[in-house]
Amino acid sequence: MLKEYTLKEKTAKGLFWGGLSSGVQQLLNFVFGLILARILDANDYGLVGMLAIFSAIASTIQESGFTAALTNQKEICNEDYNAVFWFSSLTGILFYFILFFSAPLIADFYNKPELVGLSRIVFLGFLLGGMSIASNAYLFKTLMIKERAKIDILALVVSGVVGVILVLLGFGYYGLAIQTTTYIVVGSFLKIYYSPWKPKTQLNFHPLKKMFSFSFKLILTNVFTQISNNVFSIILGKFYSPKQLGFYSQGQKWTGMGSQLINGMLNSVAQPVLVQISEDKERQKKAFRKMIRFGAFISFPVMLGFAFIAKEFIWIFLGEKWLPSVSFLQFFCIWGAMVYLWVLYMNLLISHGKSDIYLYGVVFTGVLQLFVVVMMFPFGIYPMVIGYIGVYYIGLLFWHYFISQILSVTIFDIIHDIAPYFCALLLSFVLCFYIVRQVSNIYILLVLKILIVAISYISILWVCKSVILKESLNYLKHIR
């Protein structure tokens, strides 16, 4: 009984600190993003966005799935961490030099000469980013979530200040590039500093062998995920314009802030907790379904609520010049409301060592997305984006089939868990719509929408005696 209470307490604290960290980060991202968006234009963001896929794939290969592999191991020693440290550090150096000399080829592909210098700055993060992967894995596995929260927030503050100063001084898109690199470098040093584990000079890659069969599948999976996630940065950058890519990137960026708030909370505890109770299927099923309910409780109002106020938000905070981003933001919010479920499915599969199924699911979804995007290409950007997002929902059904084999969770169980929160939010939207339909002032409209929906949503759940709501409020009262 004591062990269960301790795990429950760790999970609650993990969700709190993960949520606090994500919340503060998104607030800081909001402030810095607001300042930068007011100064820069869509072309600046588009140029940096063209490099997203190269950075994402190189970072994935550099990490090599070792964080998940180390977390999944029941017994682990210093040699395991040390092998990961040296592998990721040396891989980071190698990738930087490969990408450094590939910069002219990238610039030629997009026909943008300015990408040569810009890419070499962005890719600098690989030189030091790999040094912190083992330290980050230690912090993650041991649920040192408070320390990880401090690291992420400090790195964001430093990089955000640097980016704003450089942009104000007239560095333009170079300011965005240096901001990104600064975040990685500062975060890496802090992870090494806060982690009790320190690297040794001994070079021994033998421990990697026992992780490789598991992590190799995650590498392929994550590489394919990054290709799928960044397919529009290639299509829009190549066949459209940096400006159009900038509008798309802004819509996706602000949506990402909301989804990262929820995913940051769940990712901080899901895999470590599910691994600890993986041998008790009934207990794991109970914990998993509770995470689903908690995710819906937070995700639906945050993401669908963001879509509800998208136009007012963009107009007031970013300016009229960014209004073409509204549709992209709303499209991604519709998927963002459910992305937490994708995250939980992924963590459950990994906790059971099913990295092969994880790989098949990502490949299936990615291939289908590429097919749909190609088919929709002649019809324009919006049909491509709608089709792309729609495939994600098909992917959820794929994941659910295998999850149901592990925990005997039916699709009706999932619907039962999330439906109350969706219905409460939908009723709040309807109520808000009728109250504000005569309001024309955009500032008053934004405030009223937020207040009415928030108060209505909480009130409906309170009247319906929502257990998740009451447990969340109770925990906040006694947080130490």
pLDDT tens-digit profile of 147-159? 887 888 898 899 9
Residue 268: what pLDDT? 58
In this prediction, residue 74 has a pLDDT band, given cuts at 50, 70 and 90, of low
Domain enclosing residue 257, as ranges:
240-480
Band of residue 446 on the pLDDT scale cut at 50, 70, 90 = very high
Lowest mean pLDDT across 160-169, 353-362, 380-389: 353-362
Eight-state DSSP code of residue 195: -
pLDDT tens digit sequence for 418-438: 999 999 999 999 999 999 988
Residues 255 and 219 grouped into a single domain: no
Query: 297-306, 329-338, 402-411 — which is least confidently predicted?
Result: 402-411
Q: Among all chains, which residue has been given the structure tokens 């909301």?
A: 258
Nearest C-alpha neighbor of 109 from the set 48, 174, 51: 51
Kindly state whether residues 210 and 225 are assigned to the same domain. yes
- pLDDT of res. 4: 44
At which of 187, 212, 238 does a domain end?
Answer: 238
Task: Tell me: pLDDT of 264 over 80.
Answer: no
- Report residue 451's pLDDT band, with 50, 70 and 90 as the boundaries: very high
pLDDT of residue 1: 37
Q: What is the pLDDT of residue 3?
A: 42
56-60, 141-145, 287-291, 365-369: which has the minimum mean pLDDT?
Answer: 56-60
How many Å is the Cα radius of gyration of the chain? 22
Q: Which residue has the higher pLDDT, 175 or 261?
A: 175
Do 277 and 181 lie in one domain? The reply is: no
Q: Are 223 and 249 in the same domain?
A: no
CA atoms within 13 A on the CB side of 447: 6
Q: How far is CA 70 from CA 195, 210, 300, 341, 363, in A?
A: 15, 10, 32, 23, 24
Q: pLDDT band at 275, cuts 50/70/90? A: low
In whole angstroms, what is the distance from residue 253 CA to residue 208 CA?
35
Q: Are residues 200 and 305 in the same domain?
A: no
Rounded CA-CA distance 321/39 in Å is: 11
> Taking all residues of the chain, what is their mean pLDDT, rounded to a whole number?
80
Other residues' Cβ atoms within 10 Å of the Cβ of residue 259: 24
Q: Is 130 exposed, middle or buried (0-12, 13-18, 19+ CB in 10 A)?
A: buried
Contacts 24+ apart (CB under 8 A), 316-324: 316/442, 316/443, 316/446, 317/34, 317/37, 318/34, 318/37, 318/38, 318/250, 319/37, 319/38, 321/41, 321/42, 322/37, 322/42, 322/247, 322/250, 324/42, 324/247
What is the total count of domains within the chain? 2
Helix (H, G, I), strand (E, B) or coil at 223: helix
Residue holding tokens 């709303």? Answer: 330
Per-residue pLDDT band for 477 (boundaries 50, 70, 90) equals: low
Same domain, residue pair 408 and 330? yes
The mean per-residue pLDDT over the stretch 108-135 comes to: 83
Tell me, yes or no, whether 141 and 228 share the same domain: yes
Q: Are residues 312 and 232 in the same domain?
A: no
Distances (CA, A) of 448 to 307, 429, 430: 15, 12, 13
Q: Is 60 exceeded by the pLDDT of residue 44?
A: yes
CA distance 321 to 276: 50
Same domain, 283 and 184: no
Share of the chain above pLDDT 70, in %: 83
Model pLDDT, residue 111: 85
- Mean of pLDDT values over 385-402: 88
H runs (alpha helix) in 337-441: 339-351, 355-376, 381-407, 411-436
Query: Do 231 and 208 fall into the same domain?
Result: yes
pLDDT of residue 423: 95
Residue at a domain's end among 238, 261, 292: 238
- Looking at per-residue pLDDT, the higher value among 446 and 69 belongs to 446
| Crossing angle of helices 2-39 and 145-168, rounded to 10° | 0
Residue burial 211-237, b: 16+ Cβ < 10 Å; e: rest: beebbebbbbbbbbbbbbbbbbbbbbb
Say whether both 188 and 44 belong to one domain. yes
pLDDT at 476: 59
**Among 238, 261, 294, where does a domain finish?**
238
